[in-house]
Copies of this chain bind each other. A is one copy, B any other.
């Protein structure tokens, strides 16, 4: 017979493995068209630029919690690949405003679409559960999140 503790442990394990699979699936490259594939990181930066008109390099770095140097490198790469354009800000002469090119918009949409498809798939599957069941999951996820936050925080300053 299984104790409650055992069941919880099993569930924790399940969560761990599903979470890792989710993040793995999040790492998969995105197909823009027959000849163009972008990495997830590229897709995310394109998304951020699409969602935040006129964002700059430093801002972008903060957004993803990476150094502005890393952001600059990413931006240069995306520009050389033709996904984005660096526009001098009209307010001042040191900032840059990033915007998507047509190709960039296409990439944005492609990335959006895959997420949309996945979410519909999931939505469909989860519709089988009752409202209260979903609520339970939600609450439990928040508990787990709390712990993750502590984990991340604690280990940071060890």
Chain A residues in the interface with B (C-beta under 8 A): 4-5, 7-12, 14-26, 28, 31, 118-119, 121-123, 125-129, 131, 133-138, 140-152, 155-156, 158
Contact = CB atoms under 8 A, between A and B. Distances in A.
Copies of this chain present = 2
Given A10-B138, A14-B138, A133-B136, 19 more contacts: A5-B123, A7-B131, A8-B127, A11-B138, A12-B122, A12-B123, A14-B145, A15-B22, A18-B19, A18-B144, A20-B22, A21-B152, A22-B148, A25-B152, A121-B147, A125-B143, A125-B146, A128-B143, A129-B140
A134 B155 CA distance: 28
B152 A24 contact: yes
